[in-house]
Amino acid sequence: MLHIVACIKQVPDTKIIKMNPKTNTMDRRTAPAILNPYDAHAVEEAVRLKHKYGGIVSVVTMGPPPAVSAIKKCIEIGADEGYLITDRRFAGADTLATSYAVTKAIEKIAKTRPVDLIICGKMSIDGDTGQVGPGIARRLDIPPLTSVNKVVEINQEEGYAIVHRKLEDGYEAVRSTLPCLFSVEKTINEVPYSPLPNMIKAARYTPQIWSVDDLEGVDITQLGLKGSPTIVSKVWAPPKPAGGSILEGNPRAQVEQLLSVLLEKKELFEAKEGV
């Protein structure tokens, strides 16, 4: 029986989000909240391993109360249990404070059911750092394996896992002791449409919800904004370069001007033409 914990995050759909041009901040109201797309692959991989080896998949997230819907989405994919840690004191966390809080939640989950494997997404589309996964691994003192694009074997009896880690020009096969943490690539699997029974289960599901006070041995100073070493000091629109010259005239005239620009760089094309 493997116990796999997937770490997930609810994020604003950055593709739809609008910026407030006056304040240069994100107008979160304009963006629907979704399960971080990378984390869907983390949950899917956990579920596949569960089907292969037998076990239980728990998902954990730190976020505001609406993050329950992201957990439900994971239940649809096939997760068994969901845990949300939510508290004003978590707000404003950077990656260091996030990995601290999520670790505390995992430690609590592990009290009732020891954890064999943790799976994170490659990155969150709003935080966009990929730092939280390795951070959690370090805090739990287990090996972090990033860029995982294939799980070859999990051997719980002998306590090891073998995975492929994507490299710039191929991959490496790595063996690690269990428990360990994977950050998985999007290419590791495809998330299929959820089967109906899972949808029904998800609709009825309520996750476990914990505040800071429900966690154990928490050092409040390491949470949220206070526990975050990095601060955003300045947000600015990138300086607008003078802008290019817009070519005038009808399409044919425009293309003609463009052509003369290109032909000034004739050597680039001649190389290809072998002239």
Ligand X SMILES: Cc1cc2nc3c(=O)[nH]c(=O)nc-3n(C[C@H](O)[C@H](O)[C@H](O)COP(=O)(O)OP(=O)(O)OC[C@H]3O[C@@H](n4cnc5c(N)ncnc54)[C@H](O)[C@@H]3O)c2cc1C
Question: Which 180-239 residues touch other proteins, going by CB under 8 A?
Answer: 180, 228-238
In angstroms, rounded to a whole number, what is the distance separating the alpha carbons of residues 253 and 211?
A: 66
Closest CB to ligand AMP among residues 169, 190: 190
33 binds other proteins (CB under 8 A): no
CB-CB contact of 6 with 79 (8 Å): yes
In angstroms, rounded to a whole number, what is the distance separating the alpha carbons of residues 85 and 125?
A: 20
Q: Distance between terminal CA atoms of the chain?
A: 68
Closest CB to ligand AMP among residues 8, 75: 8
Which residues does residue 136 pair with via DSSP β-bridges, in sequence order? none
Residue sitting closest to ligand AMP (CB): 121
275's contact among ligand X, other proteins, ligand AMP, none, with CB below 5 to 8 A by partner kind, is other proteins
Q: Give the interface size with ligand X as a residue count (CB under 6 A).
A: 4
Smallest separation (angstroms) from ligand AMP to the CB of 119 = 8
Residue of 61, 176, 189, 198 that binds ligand AMP (CB under 6 A): 61
> Among candidates 10, 32, 48, which has minimal Cα distance to 191?
48
Please give the C-alpha separations between residue 256 and each of 247, 262, 267, in angstroms, as whole numbers.
Answer: 10, 10, 19
Smallest separation (angstroms) from ligand AMP to the CB of 33 = 13
CB-CB contact of 146 with 134 (8 Å): yes
Question: Which 149-188 residues touch other proteins, going by CB under 8 A?
Answer: 162, 165-177, 180
128 binds ligand X (CB under 6 A): yes
